[in-house]
Amino acid sequence: MSDLILIIDDEANLRRTLAQILRERGYAVLEASNGVEAIELLRHSIPDLIFSDWKMPEMGGEQILRYLRDAPHLAMIPVIVITAFGSSDSAIEAVRLGAYDFVTKPFDLDEISLTAERALAHSSLNRDVAELRSKAGHNGNPPAGRLIGTSGPMLEVFKMIGKVAETDSTVLICGESGTGKELVAEAIHKYSQRKAKRFIVVNCAALPDHLLESELFGHERGAFTDAITRKIGRFELAEGGTIFLDEIGELSPSLQAKLLRVLQERTFERVGGTETIAGDFRVLAATNRDLEATVAEKLFREDLFYRLNVVRISVPPLRERRSDIVTLAEHFLRRYSEENNIPTVGFSDDSILMLQAYSFPGNVRELENMVERAVVMARGRVVMPNHFPTRVETGQSGSSREVQVDLFSLPFHKSVAELEKHLIKNALRDAAGNKTEAANRLQINRRLLYKKMVDYEIKD
Ligand SMILES: Nc1ncnc2c1ncn2[C@@H]1O[C@H](COP(=O)(O)OP(=O)(O)OP(=O)(O)O)[C@@H](O)[C@H]1O
Ligand SMILES: [Mg+2]
């Protein structure tokens, strides 16, 4: 089904041109010549994206934005505001009021379709989130939206979220990869007074430095070669809402300095701009690094660290809250069965045991992927141990009680080390602790075996 776009503009020619362009690109289009007409249309159809003129008689862009924001089922629809060229005031005002973006008249066709595409991608993401949230709501369970967990450590996390949500404190969310840091950030926003405003995510590791800077702070037209138009940065987009800086440990020294100032003064300038912009945003940050260690190594500014670490939430790895494994597995089973239209059955007892015994180096994300795959493989039958990857099975077999890890997911040296450790332990066990015999089995000399045993702290 093609995406539905609503265009609101009182200038008939302009509206029709835009509608035609969008139809040619495969979108379904609805047209309204003013806000009142638009609201009438919105009673029967919910578009995926809205283009709206700013200045219109009767009901202008500003009122339309306010109307949408207050309607729960419409608040998610991205709105691209059409403004006259050069009227940056209305553009900024529009973005402040929650518009996704703006385009200027006269139209640049490529710019328009690009903006529409981006907005639609954004909107489908939001829809998924909304759907999941409403599903979670029906069961009446998960206390923090989509965050599932009943273990002691997770209840502590929920409590922390509850305590800090209402405040404007900066929160540093720490935890291994895949533990749910982003969900925690979303929950903080969702339970805050800022919930009607945006939750803006920036992955600090995803962009090279100069691009990240203009992504965060925006840039003026002509600030650098590719800066054809003015760009509103993420901090500005987060106005009134929350900005989530993910993978904060990867920030370069120069951006660390800039961020420090933003946190201290709540002001910034667009790249290439002179105007100082004061913003109202709440900052949440996350890292899977040991940030204290990074500070000790002088790779991360200590003053910035303290600014971020006002409140800290540590999300524990899954292996430290094993009682959540089954709850989460069942949640993912329901979710992926529904998504794939496969009837939900359940897990066999031995597959549950297997999950409970596994170490989950990739945490909840690994469990989620595993269950998704198992659902597809089981095709409506009970999920059995053989529907999980072999690494999980070997974890349960009890042949060695040490932590099982997915060797292929580790950095090279670590995985080689893990493998050596594993081979040596097995050889020692098979040789009943006799080192000469174990060295023979491994076809290495005894001295090397001793050295490795010391290196890896393997006791005889
Ligand atoms: N408590 C939870 N309840 C439900 N789903 C969860 C939970 N924790 C994590 N997930 C799911 O696991 C996946 C990974 O979570 P998320 O992206 O929040 O992890 P992360 O800590 O940000 O990881 P990374 O450091 O790799 O970015 C997501 O699909 C998320 O929905
Ligand atoms: Mg993340």
Q: What CATH code is carried by the domain that includes residue 58?
A: 3.40.50.2300
* Average predicted confidence (pLDDT) for the chain: 85
Number of Cβ within a 10 Å radius of residue 322:
15
Among residues 319, 316, 331, the alpha carbon closest in space to that of 160 is found at: 316
DSSP line for 109-134: HHHHHHHHHHHHHHHHHHHHHHHHHH
Amino acid code (one letter) for 306 = Y
415 located within any domain: yes
As a whole-number percent, the residues of the chain with pLDDT over 90 amount to: 45
The 10s digit of each residue's pLDDT in 151-161 is 888 888 888 88
Atom number, ligand 1, closest to the C-alpha of residue 147: 3
DSSP line for 366-426: HHHHHHHHHHHHHTTSPB-GGGS-HHHHHHHS-S--SPP--GGGS-HHHHHHHHHHHHHHH
Domain interval for residue 375? 318-396
Q: Is 249 in the pocket of ligand 1 (CB under 6 A)?
A: no
For residue 267, list its beta bridge partners.
278
pLDDT over 70 (residue 339): yes
As a whole-number percent, the residues of the chain with pLDDT over 70 amount to: 88
- CA 146 – ligand 1 centroid, Å: 10
163 and 304 co-located in one domain = yes
Atom number, ligand 1, closest to the C-alpha of residue 154: 1
Counting the structural domains of the chain, the total is 4
Tokens 């800039």 found at: 258
131 located within any domain: no
Atom number, ligand 1, closest to the C-alpha of residue 181: 21
Q: Which of 121-130, 229-238, 424-433 has the highest mean pLDDT?
A: 229-238
11 and 115 co-located in one domain = yes
Q: Is 182 in the pocket of ligand 1 (CB under 6 A)?
A: yes
How many Å apart are CA 181 and CA 171, to the nearest integer?
11
First to last CA, the chain: 65
The 10s digit of each residue's pLDDT in 385-407 is 889 987 776 653 333 434 445 56
Model pLDDT, residue 395 = 55
- CA 342 – ligand 2 centroid, Å: 29
Atom number, ligand 1, closest to the C-alpha of residue 324: 1
Model pLDDT, residue 408 = 61
Residue of the CA atom closest to atom 16 of ligand 1: 180
161 and 310 co-located in one domain = yes
Maximum Cα–Cα distance across the chain? 92
- Which ligand places an atom closest to the C-alpha of 180? 1
Q: Is 187 in the pocket of ligand 1 (CB under 6 A)?
A: no
- Which ligand places an atom closest to the C-alpha of 141? 1
How many Å apart are CA 410 and CA 407, to the nearest integer?
6
Tell me, what DSSP letter sits at residue 147?
Answer: B
Number of Cβ within a 10 Å radius of residue 298:
9
How many Å apart are CA 250 and CA 206, to the nearest integer?
9
Q: Which of 170-179, 207-216, 398-407 has the highest mean pLDDT?
A: 170-179
Model pLDDT, residue 430 = 82
- CA 299 – ligand 2 centroid, Å: 21
Cα four-point dihedral sign 430, 433, 439, 440: negative
pLDDT over 90 (residue 415): no
* 319 — pLDDT class (breaks 50, 70, 90): very high
Model pLDDT, residue 363 = 95
pLDDT over 60 (residue 40): yes
Residue of the CA atom closest to atom 10 of ligand 1: 180
**Among residues 314, 332, 352, which one ends one of the domains?**
314
Model pLDDT, residue 409 = 61
Mean pLDDT of 22-47: 90
- CA 70 – ligand 1 centroid, Å: 29
How many Å apart are CA 454 and CA 113, to the nearest integer?
62
Which residues fall within 8 angstroms of residue 180, CB to CB, at 6 or more apart?
A: 147, 315, 363, 364
Q: Is 181 in the pocket of ligand 1 (CB under 6 A)?
A: yes
Mean pLDDT of 93-103: 76
Atom number, ligand 1, closest to the C-alpha of residue 185: 18
- CA 157 – ligand 1 centroid, Å: 14
302 and 168 co-located in one domain = yes
DSSP H helices in 139-208: 152-165, 181-190
Mean pLDDT of 134-157: 61
302 and 363 co-located in one domain = no
* 126 — pLDDT class (breaks 50, 70, 90): low
337 and 212 co-located in one domain = no
Model pLDDT, residue 396 = 39
Model pLDDT, residue 29 = 95
228 and 272 co-located in one domain = yes
Among residues 37, 39, 35, the alpha carbon closest in space to that of 56 is found at: 35
Lowest mean pLDDT among 22-31, 111-120, 196-205, 283-292: 111-120
The pocket of ion ligand 2, defined by CB under 5 A, consists of 182
Model pLDDT, residue 85 = 60
The 10s digit of each residue's pLDDT in 60-95 is 888 999 888 887 778 778 899 888 765 566 666 777
117 located within any domain: yes
165 and 293 co-located in one domain = yes
293 and 167 co-located in one domain = yes
* 147 — pLDDT class (breaks 50, 70, 90): confident
- CA 142 – ligand 1 centroid, Å: 14
- CA 279 – ligand 1 centroid, Å: 29
Residue pair 360/366 in contact (Cβ under 8 Å)? The answer is yes
210 and 280 co-located in one domain = yes
Tokens (6 digits) for 350: 């031995």
Residue of the CA atom closest to atom 5 of ligand 1: 147
